[in-house]
Amino acid sequence: MADEDTGDKKDDAVETFLTYAQLFEFDGERLGDVPVWQERMRDIARQLPPDLVKGLTERMRHAAPGELTDYHAFSERYGLTVSEKKLLVSLAGGFSVPDHARRTGISVNTARVHMQNLLDKTGAGGQVDLIKMLLAG
């Protein structure tokens, strides 16, 4: 019976961990929106010691709001494409439009088109305004 209780507690800890972990972004996609990443995160968390899972969960739960920017909600609100969202993530990470182009293997002109689309869709007056809008929620 004690083993079952321990297993149940660990499963609960893993599910709580996933609640927070799925908010993070990777390559412009929120991890919670990609089923394969949900399963990979679940498998990894199950292999970790329970205390480590709890510690990671607490760190994510208490993260500053700016550290858990919800790019997904912002993208949905303004109807952004995956490419535009990837550029937004790069800009928020301190990269320029040409830096983003190099990092993602697209032309600078294509990245500039994505930038213009971001500004048009959000009504932002420029990159700084766009980032302020993103961080404001």
Residue 129 is part of a domain; what is its CATH number?
Answer: 1.10.10.10
Overall number of domains in the chain: 2
Note whether 48 and 20 are same-domain residues.
Answer: yes
Note whether 60 and 77 are same-domain residues.
Answer: no
Write down which residue in 50, 67, 84 finishes a domain: 67
The highest-confidence range among 2-6, 63-67, 104-108, by mean pLDDT, is: 104-108
Write down which residue in 45, 67, 89 finishes a domain: 67
Domain limits at 85? Answer: 71-136
Confidence category of residue 114, pLDDT binned at 50, 70, 90: very high
Write down which residue in 67, 102, 124 finishes a domain: 67
Per the CB < 8 A criterion, the answer to whether 49 and 10 are in contact is no
Contact partners, residue 14, CB within 8 Å, separation at least 6: 42, 45, 46, 53
Average pLDDT over residues 102-123: 95
Per the CB < 8 A criterion, the answer to whether 82 and 97 are in contact is no
What is the structure's pLDDT at 28? Answer: 65
Note whether 57 and 80 are same-domain residues.
Answer: no
Instruction: Please check the confidence at residue 67 and state whether its pLDDT lies above 70.
Output: no
Average pLDDT over residues 27-40: 74
